[in-house]
Amino acid sequence: MRIIRTRDYNHMSEHAAAVIAAQLTLQPNSTLGLATGSTPLGAYVRLVEMCAAGKISFAQVQSYNLDEYRGLTHDDPQSYHHFMWENLFSRVDIDVTRTHVPDGSNEDAASTCANYDAAIEAAGGIDLQLLGIGNNGHIGFNEPGDEFVVGTHCVDLTESTIKANSRLFESIDEVPRQAYTLGIGAIMHARRILVIASGTAKADAVHAMCYGPVTPACPASVLQLHPDCIVIADAAALSAC
């Protein structure tokens, strides 16, 4: 694990965008694993700017997102499909038919999850996986538990995650209780991982990820076993380290 300490959110975002841009320059046909949430927004803004300036291109990229709320349709403003369209896909030169987000509107969890894993495998796996980290140490929606779940699966979100994500909904009752998430297997099989974190709310989780025991009680701690994992965090997120 390489830890890059940045000053603040903007500085973190600049560094993260630079890593993704370098990945695209070195391998224009990269398969990217993408993340939603507040943390990657600044990096996405910078990538959009770089693409508009002709410095990078997503034309040959394919992408697989980490997760999606179960029960939301693609066009639901709270869906991660919608988030990706609004914040990245509609603003860069990516071929939208080569972007993938788990299908939250498919109630058949078993086939949704199996198809997603099969598609990633058929694509040859993920070259660069972007990850945020939850306050409780989750990656994607792999919540703290008794075991690492390897495959894409349907999860019951923890109260901590529902509370954290309720800031984006009108009320906590509107936050979906379940989600489809890539499992630890596809994440760990990514050839390179980039974790980004900002703010004091992440400090304990970042400490547990980097220095705690490798345990499913902190899913992000498994990243200690990855041979090429870069953590870009700001001073506040590293304040417990």
Q: Which residues bind ligand PGA (CB under 6 A)?
A: 37-39, 132-134, 138
Q: Please identify which of the residues 15, 81, 100, 138 carries the catalytic annotation.
A: 138
- Strand segments, DSSP code E, in 103-158 are 128-131, 153-156
- For residue 184, count other CB atoms closer than 10 A to its CB: 22
Of 99 and 132, the one with the shorter C-beta distance to ligand PGA is 132
Q: 13 or 31: whose CB is closer to ligand PGA? A: 13
Q: Is 15 a catalytic residue?
A: no
- Which lies closer to ligand PGA via its Cβ, residue 104 or residue 132? 132
Least distance CB 18 / ligand PGA (angstroms) = 19
CA distances from 130 to 40, 41, 105, 138, 173 (A): 8, 12, 24, 14, 29
Residue from 143, 165, 226, 234 carrying the catalytic annotation: 143
* Residue 102 CB neighbour total at 10 angstroms: 28
**Integer Cα distance of 220 and 206 in angstroms:** 8
Cβ closer to ligand PGA: 94 or 164?
164
Is 135 an annotated catalytic residue? Answer: no
Burial of 107 (0-12, 13-18, 19+ CB in 10 A): exposed
* 132/144 with CB nearer ligand PGA: 132
What is the Cα 78 distance to its own chain's centre? 16
Shortest distance, CB of residue 37 to ligand PGA, whole angstroms? 3
DSSP state of 180: E
Choosing from 65, 68, 100, 136, the catalytic residue is 136
Which of 15, 67, 142, 165 is catalytic? The answer is 67
Q: What is the largest CA-CA distance in the chain?
A: 47
Q: How far is the CB of 190 from ligand PGA (least distance, A)?
A: 16
Distance, in Å, from the CA atom of 179 to the CA atom of 79, rounded to the nearest integer, reads 11
- Residue sitting closest to ligand PGA (CB): 37
CB of 6 to ligand PGA, least distance (A): 15
Amino acid identity at 125? G
Q: Shortest Cβ distance from residue 79 to ligand PGA (Å)?
A: 15
Helix (H) or strand (E) run with residue 178 in it? strand 178-181
Angle, to 10 degrees, between the axis of helix 9-26 and the axis of helix 41-52?
50
- Residue for token pair 């590293």: 238
Query: Known catalytic residues?
Result: 67, 136, 138, 143
